[in-house]
Amino acid sequence: MRVVVVGATGNIGTAVLRRLVDGGEFDQITGVARRLPARDAGPPYDQVQWHRVDVGAPEATRELADLFAGAAAVIHLAWQIQPSHDRARIRHTNVMGTAGTAAAVVAASVPALLVASSVGAYASGPKDDRVDEDWPVTGVPGSTYSQDKADVEALLDRLEDEQPRLRVVRIRNGLAFQRSAAAEIARLFAGPLAPLGLLRHGRLPLLPGGRTLRVQAVHSDDVADAYARAILAQAHGAFNIAAEPVLDAASVGARFHGMAVPVPPALLHAAAALTWTARLQPTEPGWIRLAANCPLMSCHRAEAELGWRPRTDALDALAELLDGMAHGTGDGSPPLRARPGAAARLLAMAGGRLPGHGDPY
């Protein structure tokens, strides 16, 4: 069975490659990315047939259709979070790139398309209950990430109406963590000035607390397992993917010796807006609004229909990430490259490479 993974070099992409290679059910794996791993990148990249395609480019649909011919399934993971100060570029990749990939799947008569959605696609929801997959996917106002995810969900709705024979799967996972993605996640959300070496002590002394500051997380390998299971089970539709426990000031503080400090989300949003506008860090303020409003998800459908269970709990996945951040850990693909030293980061900023800007980021 041949599977094509679009956006195969990032956090989820690398985990998906690892699952497809190690599982033994798939005899040919094709990877598509804008920036390819080096020839000596090692596993899992060395077990993949690679092709360079920018999904946002005008010719991408034609190139992808040629690559998709004969595939049993296409997994679409390509997504841009940075540069956050170039909204038009990000939206072109995220929404138009997904539309082009879907058009290529139809042109190549691929029977299954699996797409990376997110808890971020959901409308605002409860923090003291769990929603299932029929909760509205209209996004959280004020979050550009959520807006793009919701627009992709609407695009997939239209695709299913127009192509009833195409099996469309949407994986809606919570925050996805693994050690080898630590340097990438630090670049995307913390930026070059964050003193991440302090995490070596395994402590988070102060944690923003509040009724709405509760989110779900999952290990990237468990997300990857959901994709593989959905292909093998001939599944269709949406699946929520997250692990226990819910991450909040209480659960994280108990694990990492931290104390909850009540902080209104509006204050966090204002701080993020100020530092983002000043180019001190790359996280645009809509992420705070999303964290405070996205619902908690029930994963019953994935458990019942895919036989999916997380092998790593959310706190262990977070511990992996924090340890990786403390050590600047990366992997063999360009997006997952290790974090450079402090001097190199400061020199890059002095040369004009500011947080939230740059290509490739």
303 in a domain, yes or no? no
Closest CA to 72 of 2, 150, 148, 147: 2
Confidence at residue 360, expressed as pLDDT on a 0 to 100 scale: 63
Is 199 part of any domain?
yes
CATH number for the domain that contains residue 118: 3.40.50.720
Mean pLDDT of the chain: 97
Query: Do 162 and 278 fall into the same domain?
Result: no
Both tokens of 80, joined, read 């841009």
* Domain housing 339: 178-215+246-294+314-350
Q: How far, in Å, are 176, 200, 219, 231, 255 from residue 251 at the CA level?
A: 17, 20, 17, 34, 7
pLDDT tens column, 100-123: 999 999 999 999 999 999 999 999
- Residue at 355 is within a domain: no
- Within a domain: 360: no
- Residue 285 and residue 263 share a domain: yes
CA dihedral (38, 2, 15, 115) in degrees, to 10, reads 110
DSSP codes, 123-171: PS--SSSEE-TTS-----TT-HHHHHHHHHHHHHHHHHHH-TTSEEEEE
Q: How far apart are CA 126 and CA 214, in angstroms?
A: 10
For the segment 154-207, what is each residue's pLDDT rounded down to a tens digit?
999 999 999 999 999 999 999 999 999 999 999 999 999 999 999 999 999 999
Examine the domain organization and report whether 50 and 196 are in the same domain. no
What is d(CA 124, CA 290) in angstroms, rounded to the nearest whole number? 8
> In this structure, are 66 and 171 located in the same domain?
yes
Q: Is the pLDDT of residue 227 over 70?
A: yes
Same domain, 142 and 282: no
Quote the Cα angle for 240-222-287, to 5°: 60
Residues 106, 224, single domain; the answer is yes
User: What's residue 206's pLDDT?
Assistant: 93
Residues 232 and 330 in one domain: no
Flag whether 68 is in a domain: yes
Q: Are residues 158 and 205 in the same domain?
A: no
Question: Which range among 85-99, 213-227, 263-277, 347-361 shows the weakest confidence by mean pLDDT?
Answer: 347-361
Q: Single out the residue of 258, 256, 274, 255 nearest to residue 266, CA to CA.
A: 274
CB contact at 8 A, 7 and 76: yes
The verdict on 200 and 139 lying in the same domain is no
| Domain-embedded: residue 46 | yes
Number of domains in the chain: 2
Under 8 Å between Cβ of 106 and 163: yes
Q: Are residues 126 and 196 in the same domain?
A: no
Computed over its alpha carbons, how large is the radius of gyration of the chain? 19
Q: Model confidence over 273-312: pLDDT tens digits? A: 999 999 999 999 999 999 999 999 999 999 999 999 999 9
What totals of helices (H) and strands (E) does the chain contain, helices first? 13, 14
| Whole-number Å distance between alpha carbons of 151 and 33 | 22
Is the domain of 24 the same as that of 35?
Answer: yes
Looking at the structure, do residues 86 and 138 belong to the same domain, yes or no? Answer: yes
pLDDT tens per residue, range 56-100: 999 999 999 999 999 999 999 999 999 999 999 999 999 999 999
**87 within domain boundaries:** yes
Q: Over range 244-251, report the average pLDDT.
A: 97
In this structure, is residue 102 part of a structural domain?
yes
